[in-house]
Amino acid sequence: MKIALASPPFPENINDGLQTLEKMVIEAADLKAEIICFPESYLPGYPGMGYSKADQTSENLETALNEVCRIAAENSIAIIVPMDWYIDKQLVNLAYVVSEKGEILGYQTKNQLDPSEDTIWVPGTERSIFEIKDVKFGITICHEGFRYPESVRWAAQNGARIVFHPHFSGSNTNGVKLTEWGNKSNPYYEKAMVMRALENTIYFASVNYSSLYPESASSLIDPAGNCVLHEVYERSGIIIGEIDPDQATGLLAKRFKNSLYS
């Protein structure tokens, strides 16, 4: 299966985000990708990015999701689109999965919030497995994938061959310019990506925004812990990787003795 990882710039508003999404989806479809994933809270944008609060209304978010469904159907490609969303009138951080036919297959909420996010979103409470063209996958969002390996292990134990990891790390205003993927002086994020794949014997696809000072690059890690490909720091665009589901056995995840820790 060919997958696409999108590293867009911060959207100025929800319409700007949709325009960039459509452009990247068309490019991914032209390159024969079967699914594309965008970074955390892409619509309307991560908090503090400057979008209008009007973009965060339930009506505008629903309109945006319908537009994503149209884009998926017109280009015959599945889309993982992280969004803000309202459940029981409470704002959550989630990622919708839209099939290549434009059908909504479900969503995964961010269940483990960073302490700084406790006043922004309400955490979710459930985990899900999705399937596109006979390939099962899970989703874990940012902080929970970096610091709560159980979120990835659960997916691997339940048949996921790959876990997608939309996240946001970095800044457009200050930081350190990274030059080498996985360097020992880099923030720990890329090292955590390796561990999530290696400790579960699955693929791990981590997806970040492009920014002037990124703290991690969008990356695909194979079940042996090797970085198959990664985005160039600061570059906005997509990268295409091919996965072999048969190599993602989930062996180490399935050997984990849950009963010892429950």
User: pLDDT in tens for each of the 262 residues of the chain?
Assistant: 999 999 999 999 999 999 999 999 999 999 999 999 999 999 999 988 888 999 999 999 999 999 999 999 999 999 999 999 999 999 999 999 999 999 999 999 999 999 999 999 999 999 999 999 999 999 999 999 999 999 999 999 999 999 999 999 999 999 999 999 999 999 999 999 999 999 999 999 999 999 999 999 999 999 999 999 999 999 999 999 999 999 999 999 999 999 999 8
Classify residue 22 by burial, with Cβ atoms within 10 Å: 0-12, 13-18, 19+: middle
pLDDT digit string (tens) for 182-202? Answer: 999 999 999 999 999 999 999
Domain 2-260 has CATH 3.30.390.50: no
Phi, psi of 197 (to 5 degrees): -75, -50
Counting Cα atoms < 13 Å in the Cβ hemisphere of 217 gives: 24
User: Taking the chain, what is the end-to-end CA distance rounded to the nearest angstrom?
Assistant: 35
What angle do the packed helices 58-75 and 14-30 form, to 10 degrees? 20
| 226 CB burial (10 A radius; 0-12, 13-18, 19+) | exposed
Model-wide pTM > 0.85: yes
